[in-house]
Amino acid sequence: MNTRRKLVVGNWKMHGSRKGNAELLDGIAGARPFGCDVAVCPPFPYLAETAVALAGTDIRWGAQDCSAHEQGAYTGEVSAGMLQEFGCRYVIVGHSERRAYHGESDQLVADKAKAALARGVTPIVCVGETLAQREAGETADVVKRQLAAVIHTLAHCAGEIVVAYEPVWAIGTGRTATPEQAQAVHALLRAQLRAATGSRADEMKLLYGGSVKPDNARELFAQADIDGGLIGGASLKAADFVAICRAAG
């Protein structure tokens, strides 16, 4: 029996405006309480306003990326220490869009996760395969390789992360892995984490991401090893995001 408390995280990606964000956050906060943990990850410029808007609520906030470096001449980068100063509970690292568009390697993702943990920010480590890799039967090899780099780099701290399985072919495409497909990969990842962290893996949260919507969330979240979701497009509409949070509760 899965007794882990569910977690639903909204990844706003490069969307938002001051007015729109205020309305969105007000809609989410006004729908509390939820029967799960909830967080939102806005673009960097909106972190301060998000923190103010959510102060006094049980909704957490996070960022969509961080640097592997603590400080220095890294124009455009944001350190985990800066995120921590803004009260960030989470930071997404290794999202497929970062891997694809910015050439992030498995090791760089692992280094970012390590930097986040060093500052007390929980990394949400994303793993996932492309459609070509799935059709070639390489799903297990790809996600295990991506996670192995993080496990190796974090060593005994590997049990402190959140893992998000996001099949690349299902992100923003309207296609969703079936609950059975998603569960199979989640079970594989938990087994890999168990081999590295022992019983700690049974307490870790594994999220699913990839076209999660109000009408498919409940069935996905009912799977034994799926502990919530990393939500993209549906997190930009308060009614949809609230419905997904309700499905997790």
Amino acid at 196: A
Of 53, 148, 66, 55, residue with least CA distance to 115: 66
The alpha-helical segments, DSSP class H, found in the chain are: 18-29, 47-54, 80-85, 96-101, 106-118, 131-135, 139-154, 179-197, 214-221, 238-248
**What is the 3-state secondary structure of 139-152?**
HHHHHHHHHHHHHH
Q: Which of 23, 95, 129, 135 is catalytic?
A: 95
Of 97, 104, 129, 166, catalytic: 166
Query: Is 138 known to be catalytic?
Result: no
Contact between 56 and 94 under an 8 Å Cβ cutoff? The reply is no
Task: Give the largest Cα separation in the chain, rounded.
Answer: 49
CA pair distance 94, 125, nearest whole angstrom: 6
Amino acid at 149: A
Q: Is 95 a catalytic residue?
A: yes
- For helices 106-118 and 139-154, the axis angle rounded to 10 degrees is 40
Give catalytic residue positions.
95, 166
